[in-house]
C-alpha cells in the first residue's frame, strides 16, 4: 500500500490533500506500486505505455495537478469478442493516467477504509 495514513487530520477534516496528490515523490511511489501489473504495458490512445518515465514527467504532472490543468486522456475504445459471437466495447485508459488514478485511490482509501466495516465490500 502506498499510503497507510494521512497525517493532516484536524477533527474529522483532512487538509492539504492536494499537496499530497501533487507531490512528485508520491506519484513515483504510486508508479512503483502499479508498474509491474500486466495491463499497464498496454498502449493507450497515444501509443505510450507506463514504462520510460523520467523524473521530469513526474514533476511536470505534479505541477499540472497543482495548477488544476491536469486532464485525463480519453480512453481508446476497442471491440472485444464475446462467447455469443457479438462484441462489446472495452475502454483502454492512457497508462500514465493510471499513476494519477492510483494516487487518488490511495488518498481516498486512507480516508475511508478506517470507517468501513470489516465485512463490507
Host domain of residue 107 = 15-113
SS3 sequence of the chain = CCCCCCCCEECCEECCHHHHHCCHHHHHHHHHHHCCCHHHHCCCCCCCCCCCCCHHHHHHHHHHHHHCCCCCCCCEEEEEECCCCCEEEEEECCCCHHHHHHHHHHHHHHHHHHHCCCCCC
Residue 44 has pLDDT above 80, yes or no: no
Position 26 in a domain = yes
The structural domain count of the chain equals 1
Position 31 in a domain = yes
Position 3 in a domain = no
Position 4 in a domain = no
- Check residues 21 and 75 and name the one with the higher pLDDT: 21
- The pLDDT of 42-50, averaged and rounded, is 61
Position 118 in a domain = no
Position 5 in a domain = no
Q: pTM for the whole thing?
A: 0.76
pLDDT at position 51, please? Answer: 72
pLDDT category at 120 given cuts 50, 70, 90 is confident
- The pLDDT of 12-25, averaged and rounded, is 88
Amino acid at each position: 500500500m502506498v499510503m497507510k495514513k494521512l497525517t493532516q487530520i484536524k477533527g474529522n477534516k483532512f487538509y492539504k490533500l492536494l499537496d499530497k496528490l501533487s507531490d512528485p515523490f508520491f506519484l513515483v511511489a504510486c508508479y512503483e506500486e502499479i508498474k509491474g501489473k500486466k495491463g499497464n504495458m498496454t498502449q493507450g490512445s497515444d501509443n505510450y505505455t507506463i514504462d520510460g518515465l523520467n523524473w521530469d514527467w513526474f514533476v511536470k504532472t505534479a505541477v499540472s495537478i497543482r495548477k488544476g490543468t491536469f486532464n485525463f486522456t480519453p480512453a481508446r475504445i476497442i471491440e472485444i469478442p464475446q462467447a455469443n459471437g457479438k462484441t462489446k466495447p472495452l475502454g483502454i485508459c492512457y497508462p500514465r493516467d493510471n499513476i494519477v488514478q492510483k494516487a487518488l485511490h490511495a488518498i481516498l482509501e486512507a480516508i475511508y477504509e478506517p470507517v468501513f466495516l470489516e465485512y463490507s465490500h
